Amino acid sequence: MGKPPCCDKNGLKKGPWTAEEDQKLIDYIQKHGHGRWRTLPKNAGLKRCGKSCRLRWTNYLRPDIKRGKFSIEEEETIIQLHSVLGNKWSAIAARLPGRTDNEIKNYWNTHIKKKLLRMGIDPVTHSPRLDLLELSSLLSSSLYNSSQLNPAGLLGFGSMFNPSFLNFATALLSSQNKTLEISPENIEQNQTGNFQCQNQYETYQANQVQNPIQGYTTSQANLNHLSTNPNNNLSCQMSLPNLWQEYDRENISISTPKGFFPVQNYGYHDSINQSIINSLAENQACFSDQNNIPNLSPFGSLLSTPSSNSTPLNSSSTTYVNNNGSSTEDIERDSYCSNMLMFDVPNALNVNGCV
DNA sequence: AACACCTCCAACCGCAGTAAT
DNA sequence: GATTACTGCGGTTGGAGGTGT
C-alpha cells in the first residue's frame, strides 16, 4: 500500500501550470537546486504539492529537455529498447538524451503502438500477430484452391495468399506449436545454453542464473553494441523476441522492393527458425543478404542503424500500407517502417483490435 | 456555424523502493 | 524492526485543439 497522495491538502493548486508558476519554480531551482520537493513549493512560494513541482521540472522546465518531434533515429531507438526493456520508460529515457520518460511513453502510446498494430506487429511482444497469420491461413485454405476465384485480387489480401507466404505462415505456426513440445532436457538446455534469455525482461530478472542482461540493464551498457556485434557473447546468446529476417518478396504477388519479414524465435530453439528458413528456401525465396545467410541478429534487420540497413531510411519504395490519411511525415515514416516489416495487413482485418 | 468525435500530451494518481527516524 | 517521509516510476485521465460532418 502506497502513501496517500501528497496533494490532498486543501489549498494546493492542481491542473496546468501558469507562466508565473513556472518562473517561480525555475528561479527557485536556479538558486537552490532541486530536491527536497516536499518543502520546495512552500519555499518557492508555490501553492503546489512537491510532487507536482517535481513533475513539472523533470518533464517540462528542465533546461536540457529536447523539444519537437521525435526523429526516425529516436523512434528506432525507442522500439529497439522497448523490445528489450518493455515499458521501462525511465530506462528508455536514459538512452535518449533530452527526452523524458513521460514524453517517450506518450509517444509510444500515441504513435508507435498504433503504427506497429497497423503493420500487424504486436507492440507488446514485438512479434508478428500470429492471429492474423492464422486467419490468413484459414482464409487461404478455403479460397486459395478455388479455381473460380482469384483470391489475391480479392479484398486486397495480396501477398497473404501467395503460396510462399502461406508456407512461411504455416512454418511459423508450426514452430509455435513446437514450443509446446519442449522436453525437460530442452528446458534444461535453455537454462544453460543459448536460450536462457527469455522474451520478457522480468524473466531475465527472475532467472537465478547469473544473467548478463542484468548487468546490462544496471550498467546501461551500449545496447547497440550488444545487439549488433556478432562476436559479442550476449548478442549471440540472446534470443530476443524478434528475429527479423530479410525476405525477398519477388514471389509475392505485389511487386515491392526487398523487405523484411519477422520471425519470432520465442527463445527456444534455432531449429524452429531453421524450419522457417528451409520453408522459405524451398519456395525459392532467397535472402537478400549478400552471402545468402539469413540475418538472425535480434535487431539487425528491423532496427539496424542506417549504415547497416539494407533499405535506406528515406526509401520511397513503399506507400502501400498507408491509407488512413496520415500526414506526409507519417506517410514517410510508415514507409520507412514498412520497409522494416513488409507485411501488409489488409484493413479488412481489424488490426487495431486486441490480440 | 455548430456539433460530435478524435488525437495528443501535460498532469495526476497510486504504488513501490529506499532512506531516515 | 516498525513507522514515516521522500522520491521515482508506470498507468491513466482530462481537456485543448484538430478534424469531419
What integer pLDDT is reported at residue A131 of this predicted model?
Answer: 63
Percent of chain A with pLDDT over 70: 33
Average pLDDT over residues A250-274: 31
Q: Which residue is nearest to nucleotide C9 (CA to C1')?
A: A90
Residue carrying the nine cell digits 498494430: A117
Ranked by mean pLDDT, the top range of A20-34, A253-267, A287-301, A317-331 is A20-34
Q: Strand C closer than 7 Å to the CB of A150?
A: no
Q: Decide if pLDDT at A72 tops 80.
A: yes
Q: How does residue A125 score in pLDDT terms, banded at 50, 70 and 90?
A: confident
Residue A42 DSSP code? H
Q: Decide if pLDDT at A54 tops 50.
A: yes
Average pLDDT over residues A277-294: 33
Q: Strand C closer than 7 Å to the CB of A233?
A: no
Q: Strand B closer than 7 Å to the CB of A320?
A: no
Q: Nucleotides of chain B within 7 Å of a protein C-beta?
A: 7-17
Q: Which residue is nearest to nucleotide B17 (CA to C1')?
A: A2
For the entire predicted model, the pTM comes to: 0.53
What integer pLDDT is reported at residue A285 of this predicted model?
Answer: 32
Q: Cβ(A273)–Cβ(A175) under 8 Å?
A: yes
Q: What is the DSSP string of A172-240?
A: HHHHHHHGGG--HHHHHHHHHSTT---SSHHHHHH--S--HHHHHHHHT--HHHHHH-TT-HHHHH---
Q: For residue A4, which nucleotide's C1' is closest to its Cα?
A: B14
Q: Decide if pLDDT at A206 tops 50.
A: no
Residue A165: which of A126, A131, A137, A132 has the closest Cα?
Answer: A137
- Residue with more model confidence, A147 or A240: A147
Q: How does residue A35 score in pLDDT terms, banded at 50, 70 and 90?
A: confident
What lies within 8 Å, CB to CB, of A100 at 6+ separation is A58, A59, A62, A65, A93
Q: How does residue A4 score in pLDDT terms, banded at 50, 70 and 90?
A: very low
Residue A160 and residue A142: Cα distance in Å, rounded? 13
| Separation in Å: B20 C1' and A80 CA | 39
| Separation in Å: B11 C1' and A14 CA | 8
What integer pLDDT is reported at residue A130 of this predicted model?
Answer: 67
CATH of span A19-61: 1.10.10.60
Q: Strand C closer than 7 Å to the CB of A287?
A: no
| Separation in Å: B3 C1' and A86 CA | 40
Q: Strand C closer than 7 Å to the CB of A109?
A: yes
CB atoms closer than 10 angstroms to residue A18? 10
The SS3 of residue A334 is helix
Segments making up each domain of chain A, as ranges: 19-61, 121-340
Q: What is the DSSP string of A243-283?
A: EEEEE--TTSSS----EEEEEE-TTT-HHHHHHHHHHHHHT
